[in-house]
Structure 1
Amino acid sequence: MGDFTSTLSVSASGLKAQSMRLRHVSENIANVDTPGYHRKVVSFEELAAQKDGGATGVQLGPVELDQKELARIYDPGSPLADENGYYDGSNVDLVVEVADARQAQRSYEANLRMFDQTRQMSSALMELLRR
């Protein structure tokens, strides 16, 4: 049963990490038109190994701001515009964010399927042991 527990733990950590990743992607999408907004970029880290060498899982690493140059927007009527009529937009690319969201969603679904399969296997094993 320990293997089932560790597999469920790994799946749960993947679910949590992907849901947090999707949260940051949604924040990026929500701020696509926010002047001066830098896109948030996340990475994953392996959780510390268990003493028995069992499965560990993943967690979200530190959130970093994308240092890509901000878009320069020409709008001389904007209160944010400089003397030349430009202001800094955001560096969020909607195509990239939608692709990241789709990847996070599919990874979340894969972890959910793994969790469900492990649960079903555990239930089947318990049923066999009862006989």
Structure 2
Amino acid sequence: MSNFTHSLGIAASGMEAQAMRLRHVSENIANADTPGYHRKITSFKSVVERGETTGEVRLGDVKLDPRELARILDPGHPMADENGYYDGSNVDLVVEIADAREAQRSYEANLRMFDQARQMSQSLLDLLRR
């Protein structure tokens, strides 16, 4: 049974990591029009216990995208400089939507793996009860 619980733990960690990634992607989309906003970039790291990888993943450090902010010409904007420009954000909505779709699909794959391991575990218990 420990292999089944280990499989459940791996799938659950993947779902949790993808849910957090989707949260950061959502924040990026929500702040796409916020002046001075830097896109958040997420990464994953393997969980290591007693010097060995467990197969589980966690969300790594969240970093800000170092790309330059878009310069927007709008002389009437309250944040505009003497030339009429202000710093926009460096969020690309096409990239964010693609990242959101990838996170969603990865979450669904982990959910299917979790459900499959749960069903196999239940089938084994049913066989042992007979």
Q: TM-score, normalization: structure 1?
A: 0.96
Query: Structure 1 residue 94 and structure 2 residue 111: aligned?
Result: no
Tell me the matched-pair count: 130
Is 1:40 aligned with 2:40?
Answer: yes
What is the rounded CA distance, in whole Å, between the counterparts of 1:49 and 1:110 in structure 2? 25
Q: Partners of 2:100 and 2:126 in 1: how far apart?
A: 39
Q: Show the counterpart of 1:74.
A: 73
Cα distance between partner residues in 1 of 2:83 and 2:93: 27
What is aligned with 1:105? 104
> 1:48 deviation in Å?
1.1
Unaligned runs of 5+ in 2: none
Off by >3 Å, runs of 4+ in structure 1: 53-56
Secondary structure of 1:55's match? strand
The Cα offsets for residues 38-96 of structure 1, whole Å up to 9 and x where unpaired, read as: 00000000011357x67330000000000001000000011100010000000000000
Aligned counterpart, 1:116 = 115
Q: Which has the higher strand share?
A: 2
Asked whether the equivalents of residues 44 and 58 of structure 1 are also in contact (C-alpha less than 8 Å), the reply is yes
In 2: Cα distance, 1:9 partner to 1:30 partner: 31
Structure 2 CA distance for partners of 1:80 and 1:54, relative to 1, 3 Å: closer
Percent pairwise identity: 69
**Residue 8 of structure 1: aligned partner:** 8
Counterparts of 2:43 and 2:98, CA distance in 1: 16
TM-score after normalising by structure 2:
0.96
Could you say what the CA RMSD is over the residues aligned between the two structures, in angstroms? 1.3
- Tell me the distance in 2 between the aligned counterparts of 1:54 and 1:77: 55
Q: Is the 8 A contact 1:50 1:56 kept in 2?
A: no
Instruction: Give the C-alpha shift of residue 109 in structure 1.
Output: 0.1
